[in-house]
Amino acid sequence: MNESTFIGLANNAALLVALGLVFDTVVLKPGYEKTFVKILTGIVFGILGIAVMMTPWEFVPGVIFDTRSVILSIGGLFFGILPTLIAVLMTSALRIFQGGIGAWTGTAVIITSGFLGILWRHKRKRVLDNISLVELYIFGIVVHIAMLLWMFSLPWGIAKGVLSNISLPVMILYPIGTVLLGKLMITRLRRKKEGDALLHSEARWRSLTETSPDHILTLDTALNIQFANFTAPGLTVEELIGTPLYQYVEGEDKQSEIKAILENALLTGEQKSYETVYNIPDGETIYYESTVVPRKLKDSAEIIGLTVSSRNITERKQAEEQIKSSLKEKQIMIDEIHHRVKNNMNVISSLLSLQANNIEDDRTKDILKDSQNRIFAMSAIHETLHGSENLSEIDLKKYLSKITASIFQSSAINPKKVKLKNDITEMPIAINQASPLGLVANELISNSLKYAFPDEREGEISVSIKKLDKELELTVMDNGVGIPDGLDWKNSNTLGLKLVRTLVENQLDGSIDMESKNGTKFIIKFNIET
């Protein structure tokens, strides 16, 4: 092997790679399943083969060498039968036209190279974009061993000289050329696959966005709009493109808020959401609920922009406002009912008080006074609820404190001699439990005031309420004379104790116990409604 042989083959291989780059850059990109494209590809590959055949290295007159075997084998491997057949026919025609002692040997090399490429493609049965460089190199060795074997078809003297001079450079340079050209084809296939996937993704994206009722926008890292499927009334998509999204939010403070949300999504990569209001030119107000999702490069943490999906929630907002308005009207109505009930009960209480003042019989007066206290106990609930935000429950401490204070004020007991002690826990209670509880407290306190301290005896009445897990415990006790011996309080005929038992057992679904030691002590327990 001499230096000129190596240089000649190397130059031809370099031309091959250069032509491969031109092919990769210029050739059309449509799908290869179309016959026209296959024919065009075959013609282009045939022209590439002819180009390298026009600058051959000549061993002896009529025996020439070039890289057509690389082109045709790669064409068969990556493009299949039809393109390869066209390229083989074009290059074979040229080689026969060139003539010489090696014309038919050269033509056989052309046919064999294309055939081996097609055969390798068929036997492989796998996608070619993941073919390894090692496999390409082995493929190149196989093709060019076959090429060297065809040299034995030449006269022995010429064959011997050819093999001794070109075998080494061919087996060094041509497999490398096969790898380089194959690598270009692999890159091209991968780009095509990615392009097809991108087109498919874009088509699916556009299909989704065009049929979506939501406003879908994409923003770049400067928060400028890149894409919008449609826009709000009064604006066009063309007007939106290239402008910052937040500028369409009304009010500088709100614009700054939305800008901060978008910037935070870019910084953190976290999904964000916000609501905005848009007033269209005809005076209508539209409410939007927007979700911001960061966009990242595939298999990368780099954020390249944002996707903002905005849903028209005007109907929902209007429904919410209607519900709020209805609830407000309902609350006002209920509050007014409580107010009127309270006022009516106060009128009844005042009438009873006037009536009592005109009656001289003490027992009748006591009956009217007891009735007045009971009405006040019920009226106090409506008074407490009037103006309250929560009309289903009241503050127990506030309610009972009002009742106990009223009983003492209306009593004939000297407040300097009998004192009231309240130990009531501050807690909410349902009104359907508060009403019977207030009446029970009223009856028990009234009984203590009536009977516990005869002859202006001094003493103390204490009222306490404690929460015990899920139970409520009401204790009313005094340090007075206690209950007379032999009195069966559970079966007493007095209205007050009958009322207490009925309210506790039937309405509160609770229990009542009594102790008479150094006074009287009633303990009522019941479960709290939740």
Residue 74: the pLDDT is: 86
> From the CB of residue 183, how many other CB atoms can be counted at a distance below 10 Å?
15
Q: Which residue from 295, 296, 297, 275 is spatially nearest to 287, judged by alpha carbons?
A: 275
Give 410-530's CATH code, choosing from 3.30.565.10, 1.10.10.10, 3.40.50.720, 1.10.760.10: 3.30.565.10
Residue 203: the pLDDT is: 57
Question: Is domain 213-312 annotated with CATH 3.30.450.20?
Answer: yes
CA pair distance 143, 117, nearest whole angstrom = 8
CB 215, CB 229: distance < 8 Å? yes
Q: Model-level pTM?
A: 0.43
Q: Which residue from 202, 231, 223, 236 is spatially nearest to 267, judged by alpha carbons?
A: 223
Q: Where are the domains of the chain?
A: 3-200, 213-312, 314-391, 410-530
**Residue 146 carries which side chain, given as an amino acid letter?**
A
Give the DSSP per-residue string, 465-508: EEEETTEEEEEEEE-SS-PPTT--GGG---HHHHHHHHIIIIIS
Instruction: Say how far residue 340 (Cα) sits from the centre of its chain.
Output: 50
Q: Which residue from 405, 410, 420 is spatially nearest to 349, judged by alpha carbons?
A: 410
CA pair distance 371, 369, nearest whole angstrom = 5
What are residue 216's DSSP bridge partners?
309
Q: For 3-200, give the CATH class.
A: mainly alpha
> Cα 390–510–520 angle (5° rounding)?
105
Cβ burial of 129 (10 Å; 0-12, 13-18, 19+) is middle
Give the DSSP per-residue string, 251-276: SHHHHHHHHHHHHHHHHH---EEEEE
Please state whether beta strands 511-515 and 520-527 pair in parallel, antiparallel, or not at all (unpaired): antiparallel
CA pair distance 147, 64, nearest whole angstrom = 13
Residue 27: the pLDDT is: 47
CA dihedral 111, 115, 118, 120 (to 10 degrees): -140
Per-residue pLDDT tens digits of the chain, which is 530 residues long: 444 444 444 444 444 454 444 455 444 444 445 787 788 878 877 887 887 787 777 778 888 888 788 888 888 888 889 988 998 999 899 889 988 898 999 899 999 999 999 999 888 877 777 888 899 899 999 998 999 999 999 898 888 888 888 888 888 888 888 888 888 788 777 777 766 665 566 556 565 555 566 778 888 888 888 887 767 666 777 888 888 888 877 788 888 888 899 899 888 888 888 888 877 666 677 888 888 888 887 666 788 888 888 888 878 887 777 777 666 666 666 566 555 666 666 666 666 666 667 777 766 766 666 666 666 666 666 566 555 556 567 787 887 888 777 777 777 677 778 888 888 888 888 878 887 888 888 888 888 888 888 877 888 888 888 888 888 888 989 988 887 776 777 777 677 778 888 888 888 888 988 888 888 899 989 898 76
